[in-house]
Amino acid sequence: MTTARIVITPPRRLNVPRWREVWEAREIFYSFGVRDIVLRYRQTAIGVAWVVLQPLVTAAIFAIVFGRVAGLPTGGVPYFLFAFAGTAAWTVFSGVLTRAAPSLVANQALVSKVFFPRVVVPLSVVMSVLLDFVVSLALFAVLLAVNGVNPGWAVLALPLWTLCALALGSGIGLAASAIMVKYRDVQYVLPWLVQVLMYATPVAYSLDAVPAGLSWWFEANPLTWLMECFRWSMLGTAAPPAWQVAGLLGASAVAVVGGLLVFQRREREFADLI
């Protein structure tokens, strides 16, 4: 038997994930991701069409409410495109967050009976969220062409912003999923919180529409920076100030590290509590 010996000891105060094990669990990550994607549209009548339909309808509603009814400015971009870009980007963040949070409790049979690095469970939702985003992007590209809008070279930075959205969503999602093992309140509070956040963040309206007296409040929100960066890359609007870009990168790193720490700190009790 030449396999490396595995040592089991009580977890330390700072419970750093064993990266080698996490890497070895990539199959599980992949299997979970595939499972989520396959399951979501199995036994549905129009299947994958939902991926396309949802952002279209949401963007249309936003365009009507904020563009027509409220008559908010967008800086020259058609409101439908503006709202579509906003919701697509927002969905990456909120999708990861809202699916990661209940994942541990939903998989409690596994968590209490099989061993594998637990981080894989909340992180695996990233795959299905990314797939949705890619489909939305393809649709968005068509819409851009139809409307004759060219975002320019800024589009190259899009993967970076996507990574930031994933980092913010999964960081908070990791912490939320770990806390939910003990406190099920999270499942009631979180959807509400995400909705509040969506209206508090310029997703369906632009920062220009915010009254000057309140704008500092909006500009202090890392999600605002995220939306500004996304819109710069997707619509070719004005580039966000450098401090916002730096702040976004910083906030993403803090979210991931913080979320991991909270998660790992509680990981030891999952099987005993769940």
Q: Provide the binding-site residues for another protein, judged by CB under 8 A.
A: 1, 3, 5-11, 24, 27-28, 30-32, 34-35, 38-39, 42-43, 109-110, 112-116, 179, 182-186, 268, 271-272
Q: How far is the CB of 213 from another protein (least distance, A)?
A: 33
Q: How far is the CB of 128 from another protein (least distance, A)?
A: 14
Rounded Cα distance, 194 and 200, in Å: 10
Rounded Cα distance, 262 and 15, in Å: 10
Give 46 or 113: the residue with its C-beta nearer to another protein: 113
**Residue 158 CB partners (closer than 8 Å, separation 6+):** 230, 233, 234
User: Residue for token digits 């996507």?
Assistant: 162
Give 126 or 226: the residue with its C-beta nearer to another protein: 126
Q: How far is the CB of 34 from another protein (least distance, A)?
A: 8
Give 110 or 239: the residue with its C-beta nearer to another protein: 110
Q: How far is the CB of 197 from another protein (least distance, A)?
A: 19
Q: How many CA atoms within 13 Å lie on the side-chain side of 111? A: 23
User: Residue for token digits 């919701």?
Assistant: 87
- Closest to 174 in 3D by CA, of 268, 85, 265: 265
Give 11 or 241: the residue with its C-beta nearer to another protein: 11
First to last CA, the chain: 35
